[in-house]
Structure 1
Amino acid sequence: MIVLLPVYKPGDHLPDLVEELRDADPAKHVLIVDDGSGAAADDVLAAADDGPHVTVLRHPTNRGKGIAIKTGLTWVHENFPDHDAVTADADGQHSVADILRVAERVDSTGRLVLGVRRFDTDVPARSRFGNTLTRVLFRAATGRDVRDTQTGLRGYPAALIPWLRDVTGERFEYEMNTLLEAARAGHPVEEVTITTTYLAGNRSSHFGSLSDSVRIYRPLLLSLMRLR
């Protein structure tokens, strides 16, 4: 199993997360893909890379989360073609326990797995509203009810990684596109309930409210228009 952490301007939590992952399961490999953070991230990335079973890849410029994920999936496919991958946010939102639970579900089912948040707890208003809207639109477009369409904690079985590399999208829309394409292709999706922590009101998120929302809703709306 490869734990894939796409990062941009990572904070001090990253080395701690890597260490916790290694302590919990020394056999797991941690792959960090830095999406053009520049020299300011050198110290944090060096601290995270201080140990076995850790690889750091770096984009010279910011290309988007979708590209970072695909860079990581390509590396996994080329170096560990029989390994599943779990993507997680590296800003403290996802606990090691939940990352490992998602990894276990992928291993046991061979299916795409989503770590879904509970929205009846202390979730920022914009996250709760955004998920409600995308959930309604996604159900209308695909007939599937996915409880958390915007989760960054996802498990990808090895057999689907070549397919995932071909899904379109460069930034946050990539993760929505994977769900839309999975529905069209008939790939089943498993869900694992997780506990999500929002540090400092989720200020560490690099999600641009307007521009990234447009990128996410555009493929949903296009899918709905095809049904008309």
Structure 2
Amino acid sequence: MIMLLPVYEPGHGLVTTVTSLRDAVPGAHLVVVDDGSGPASARVLRDVEDLGCTVLRHDANRGKGAALKTGLRHIAAEYPGRAVICADPDGQHRVEDILRVAEHVAVSGRMVLGVRRFEGRVPLRSRFGNAVTRLLFRAATGCPVVDTQTGLRGYPAGLLDWLCRVPGERFEYEMNVLLHAARSGVPIEQTVIATTYLGDNGSSHFGSLKDSVRVYRPLLRHALTPSARSRA
């Protein structure tokens, strides 16, 4: 299994995530992309290197989309023909859910989203944001994606070059992947995962207003495209 973990200013939770994955899948290859973190994260990044992770570094913060593309290009070159599982290394994705997505990709050979049901104790902004984007995405594309904002995604090897051509450098990139998949007829499969938020989602680097605009702009642009409306 090839795991891709984009990080920015990671804490010790990254070490915990890496250790858990290593214990569960001893032969897994873990690629961490540090998106311009400061000195405070240097020890954590050295620790995961010592655990056997490949750590790629950006000199400055370029955004989650840029970090994912850096990792995907590296994996396509170093591990050709291998599927990739992308996860947010903040403790919100359980190892069993990561493995469930990996197995689904291996069986289906398709893009697989680990989707949350947003049940139980979920921060209001997360519950509301997902509900809005889910409805807008379905209206724009006709695709009933349950969780458009999930960071747990599996991609077969055949999609890696395509993923690197999808526009977007920051949080809008993952929405663009779904929109371009819907437009291009790339199948999107889903599997249910646990809904987990730690400390009211305080570890997230998603900025409420600026990043929301980045996510909603391509979604609304797609919804207003005549060809997209005719397919919905």
TM-score computed with the length of structure 2 as normaliser? 0.96
Counterpart secondary structure, 2:199: helix
On the 8 A contact 2:33/2:56 being kept in 1, the answer is yes
Of 191-200 and 212-221, deviating more is 191-200
Q: Is the 8 A contact 1:115 1:191 kept in 2?
A: yes
**Equivalences for 1:1-228 in 2 at 5 Å?**
1-52=1-52, 54-227=53-226
Paired residues, what number? 227
Offset at residue 39 of structure 1 (A): 1.9
Match of 2:114, SS state, is strand
Amino acid at match of 2:86: T
2:89 partner SS: coil
Root-mean-square deviation over aligned CA pairs: 0.9
Q: Deviations over 1:139-188 (max 9, x none)?
A: 11101110000000000110000000000000000000000000011111
Letter paired with 1:46: R
Is the Cα contact below 8 Å between 2:119 and 2:195 reproduced in 1?
no
* Equivalent position amino acid for 1:11 in 2: G
Separation in 1, partners of 2:112, 2:174: 12
Contact 2:113 2:150 in 1 (8 A): yes
The Cα of 1:130 is off from its aligned counterpart by 0.5
Separation in 2 of the partners of 1:118 and 1:146?
A: 11
Q: Secondary structure of the equivalent of 2:200? A: helix
Q: What are the ranges of 5 or more consecutive residues in structure 1 without an aligned counterpart? A: none
The structural deviation recorded for 1:120 is 2.4
State the 1:16 CA deviation.
1.2
